Structure 1
Amino acid sequence: MQTNTVLQMNPLDHIGLPVVVFADDYSILQVNCLFSKLFSGAGEGVVGKSFSDVVASFFTEEGLALPGSEFPENYFEPSNPLVQLTTIGINVGRNKTLHWYRVVFSPGNIHNNRSGQIVVTFTDVTGLVGEANTQKQIALAKNEWENTVDAIQDIVTIQNKDMEIVRANKVAHELFGFQLGELKGRKCHEVFFRTEGPCPGCPILKAEQESFPQTGLMYNELLGKTFRVSFFPIFDEDGEIYQFVHVAKDVSQYLEDASEKNRLMAAIEQTSDSVVMTDLNGIIKYVNSVFEQVSGYSREEVLGKKTNVLRSGEHNQRFYQSMWETLLAKKVWRGKLRNRHKNGTLYTEDVTIVPVLGSGGEIINFVATKRDITREEQLEQQLHHATRIEALGTLAGGIAHDFNNILSAMIGYGEMAKGKLDRNHSAQGDIQQILNGGDRAVDLIKQILTFGRHESHGEFHVVKLQRILRESIEFLRPSIPATIELIHEIDETCSSVYADPSQLYQVIMNLCTNSRQAIGDGHGIIKIRLREVDARDGGAVFGLNSHANRYILLDIIDTGCGVEDVNLPKLFDPFFTTKPKEQGTGLGLAVVHGIIKKHNGEIRVSSKSGKGTVVSIYLPVDGRGYEGKKMPAILRQGGNERIMIIDDEILLVNVLSACLKKVGYRVTSYIDSIEAVTAFRENPNCCDLVITDMLMPNMTGAELAREMLSIRKELPIIMLTGYSEHFNKEKSIQIGLKEYLFKPVKNEILRTIVRKVLDNGENIDH
Structure 2
Amino acid sequence: MLGISGLYESEELFKELIENISSGVAIYETTDQGKNFTISEMNKAGLSICDVTRKEIIGKNLSTLFPKVEDFVFLDALRRVWKTGNPEHSPTGFYQASRVSGWTEIYIYKLSSGKVVAIFDQQSEIIEAREILSHKKIEEELQKSETEKSTILESLLEFIVYQTKDNSIIWANKAAADSVNSVPEELVGRKCYQVWNDRNDPCEGCPVVKSLKSKKPEISEINTPDDRVWRVAGYPVKDNDNNIIGVVETTLDITERRTMAQKVEERSEALSVLNKIISLGNESKSLQEYLLKSYDQVLDIVGFDRGGIYFYNNKTNHNILVYHKNIHPDYIAAIEDVDITQGLFSKVFDKDKLCYFEDFSEFMENSKEFGVYSTVSVPLRSKDEYVGSLNLTSPTHQILSKNKLDLLESIGKQMGIIIQKFESEKLLKESEEKFRKAFLQADLYRDIFAHDINNILQNIHSSAELSSLYLNNPEKLNTISELYEIIHEQVERGRKLIKNVRKINEIEDSEIELEKIEIFQVLNKAIEFLKNSFQARTLDVKINSQKKKTYVYANNLLLDVFDNILINAVRHNSSTKIEIEIEIKKEKLKRENYIRMEFNDNGLGISDYRKKSIFEKGKRKSQRSRGLGLGLSLVKKIVDSYQGDIWVEDRTKGDYKQGSKFVVLLHETL
Q: Does the TM-score normalized on the shorter chain lie above 0.5?
A: no
Greater per-residue helix proportion: 2
Q: For this structure pair, what is the TM-score category when the shorter chain's length is used for normalisation?
A: 0.3 to 0.5
TM superposition score normalised by structure 1: 0.39
